Amino acid sequence: MKAIQYTEFGGPDVLKMVEVDAPHAGPGEVRIAVRAAGINPADWKRFTGLFRDFMKIELPAGVGFEAAGIVDELGEGITGIALGDAVFGLAADAMAEYAVLSSWAAKPDDMPFEVAGGLAVVAETGTRAIDQVGVEAGQTLLVNGAAGGVGSAVIQLARARGITVIGTASEAKHDYLRGLGAIPTTYGPGLADRVKRLAPDGVDAALDLAGSGIIPELIDIVGEPSRVLSIVDFSAPEHGAQFSTRPQDRPERALAEAAQLYSEGAFRLHLAKVFPFAQVGDAYALSEEGHVTGKLVVSLA
């Protein structure tokens, strides 16, 4: 099969389309013929070498953490899913013609494969962040970096739980945030004052999805360090805030919840751009610029 791999660290140019043996589904896994796969910043953080000091990456390495497609192989012990089913989920080395999913959910019939291909990581991360920071119905959540993939998911997942969301993004994206159900504000100096005006009674929790060195400021705004959580800033625990990185125990529940909300019309995933498989490098170059609205996806259809 064709797969995207790198044999040295560097910019998107190190990504090559190569011929490799297709992987097989192990116990508790399914293999899919990939129709679309999502672009995530964690990929370029790995292939550029940013994570090299604390994460062992053996070369050649693949890219891609999520995909959608058609089930074509069932691992041992798999029930409730059949060959030919359309699913989406989490995988390693997903940017390939075939990928093995470790967790998945059925793709709703009315959800395009491109949307499903970019959904798993943001659904899992968004659900985990909301659960872990402990914000509940009737409370207010401040989301720093709300217009990207994870932020777009967090806003809608939180709104579905009855949580009020204030989200930061550059001014041009404020209508986008409003469309998802958030109250927008800009990031940068003066954030605490702007949030105070939008939420005079205060905010109950904050998520940092941008890693812009804002943890102390978010703690001041919330008033309680443990109610601030970052998915990017490794220094968060030094301030008493939380850092979250590992997928939760049962990610498939988060995937199914997002799919259900999609079917109910309560969740959408804006695709900033869909790239053909041959242009994966361009997709990562755009992701690296750091201003994607919603999600970037690669189509293998």
| Footprint on this chain of ligand NAP (rule: CB under 6 A) | 40-42, 45, 121, 125, 144-145, 147-151, 168-170, 173, 187, 209-212, 231-232, 244-245, 287, 290-293
The rounded distance, in Å, linking the Cα atoms of 185 and 151 is 14
Query: Measured in Å, how far apart are the chain's first and last C-alpha atoms?
Result: 14
Residue whose CB is less far from ligand NAP, 71 or 191: 191
The rounded distance, in Å, linking the Cα atoms of 300 and 95 is 9
Task: Find the shortest distance in angstroms from Cβ 195 to ligand NAP.
Answer: 13
Residue whose CB is less far from ligand NAP, 51 or 78: 51
Residue whose CB is less far from ligand NAP, 1 or 9: 9
Task: Find the shortest distance in angstroms from Cβ 190 to ligand NAP.
Answer: 13
The rounded distance, in Å, linking the Cα atoms of 156 and 27 is 34
Residue whose CB is less far from ligand NAP, 163 or 292: 292
Closest to 91 measured CA to CA, from 23, 14, 18: 23
Residue whose CB is less far from ligand NAP, 71 or 254: 254
Task: Find the shortest distance in angstroms from Cβ 187 to ligand NAP.
Answer: 4
The rounded distance, in Å, linking the Cα atoms of 234 and 184 is 26
Task: Find the shortest distance in angstroms from Cβ 271 to ligand NAP.
Answer: 11
Q: Which residue is nearest to ligand NAP (CB)?
A: 148
Neighbours of 148 (CB within 10 A): 23
Closest to 129 measured CA to CA, from 114, 115, 146: 146
Task: Find the shortest distance in angstroms from Cβ 93 to ligand NAP.
Answer: 17
Residue whose CB is less far from ligand NAP, 96 or 155: 155
Task: Find the shortest distance in angstroms from Cβ 91 to ligand NAP.
Answer: 15
Closest to 206 measured CA to CA, from 191, 193, 219, 188: 219
46-63 as b/e: b if 16+ CB within 10 A:
bbbeeeeeeeeeeeebbb
